[in-house]
Structure 1
C-alpha cells in the first residue's frame, strides 16, 4: 500500500544497521524538506497533541492528496517528511486505506519513539486522515 517514495525509505533503513543511523536518516529527511511558509503557520494548521510545534497544510488537487508541514523539532520535522513520502500523491480516497502504524512499524519507528513523539505522530496521522475523510 505504500508509495514508491516510502518504499525507498524502507530500503534505506534496511541498509542502516543501528537505530542511531536510522534516527539520523529521519532527521536528514526533515532537513531536506522545504520549510513551511510562515503565513501557513496558523492555528488552523497547527496539530494539537504534539509536544513540539507542528503544522500541517493539506492540499487536494484533482482528487490527489498532498500536504506540506513543519515543526520546531528536528526529529518531528523528519517524521513529517516520512509521512509526506507515505501519503503525498495518493488519490484522496486511498489515504484512509493506508495503515500508517504498520508502515512505520516496517521502519522500526514504533519501537524507538518516545511516548510523546508517538502521541504526536498519531495526532499528525489523525489530522491527515480527517482531511482525507472530509474530502473523499
Structure 2
C-alpha cells in the first residue's frame, strides 16, 4: 500500500516512539501543525455532526483528488485530525470510501488510545469526507 509522503513520515515517527507518553507528545505536535481555519470556515455548514468536540471540515477537489482541511477546539482531536488528513491527502473518491481508519490508527500505535467517543468522532469525520467526495 502506497502512503502519501506525510503519512509515511507520521508512521515512521510513531513507530520510533517508545511508549504512550512519547506518542501523546507526537500527537500534540501533529495537532499544532494543522493550519488554522478562518472564522468564516468555522461555520455551522462545515461542522461535523457526531463529534463530541467541535470539529470543522473543509474539502476541495483538484483533478479528481481530494484535499481536506480541518480543525477542532480539542488538542487531542486536532492531533488525530492531522494524522487522518495526511492519510487521506490526495485520495480519489473511491480510495476514500475504502480507507481502513482503525487500521491506520493501529499502525500508528494509537488504536488502543482511541476512546469509543473519539473513535466515533473520527468515523464521523471520515463519513463526512466520503459524503463530500460523493457530491453529498
Secondary structure at 2:47 match in 1: coil
Segments of 5+ residues of structure 2 without an aligned counterpart are: none
Conservation of the 8 A alpha-carbon contact between 1:96 and 1:133: no
Shift in alpha-carbon separation, 1:133–1:101, aligned structure 2, 3 A: farther
Report what 1:13 is aligned to. Answer: 14
Alignment of 1:17-56 (within 5 A): 17-56=18-57
Report what 1:73 is aligned to. Answer: 74
Report what 1:106 is aligned to. Answer: 107
Alpha-carbon distance in structure 1 between the residues aligned to 2:120 and 2:111? 11
* RMSD of Structure 2 on Structure 1 (CA): 1.5
* TM-score, scaled to structure 1: 0.91
Alpha-carbon distance in structure 1 between the residues aligned to 2:81 and 2:44? 18
Q: Which runs of 4+ in 1 moved over 3 A?
A: none
Alpha-carbon distance in structure 1 between the residues aligned to 2:99 and 2:121? 18
Per-residue CA distance 1:61-99 (angstroms, 9 max, x = gap): 221100111100001111111111001122333222321
Deviating more after overlay: 93-102 vs 80-89: 93-102
Alpha-carbon distance in structure 1 between the residues aligned to 2:102 and 2:59? 20
Alpha-carbon distance in structure 2 between the residues aligned to 1:23 and 1:113? 12
Deviating more after overlay: 101-110 vs 40-49: 101-110
* TM-score, scaled to structure 2: 0.91
Conservation of the 8 A alpha-carbon contact between 1:60 and 1:92: no
Alpha-carbon distance in structure 2 between the residues aligned to 1:92 and 1:61? 12
Secondary structure at 1:40 match in 2: coil
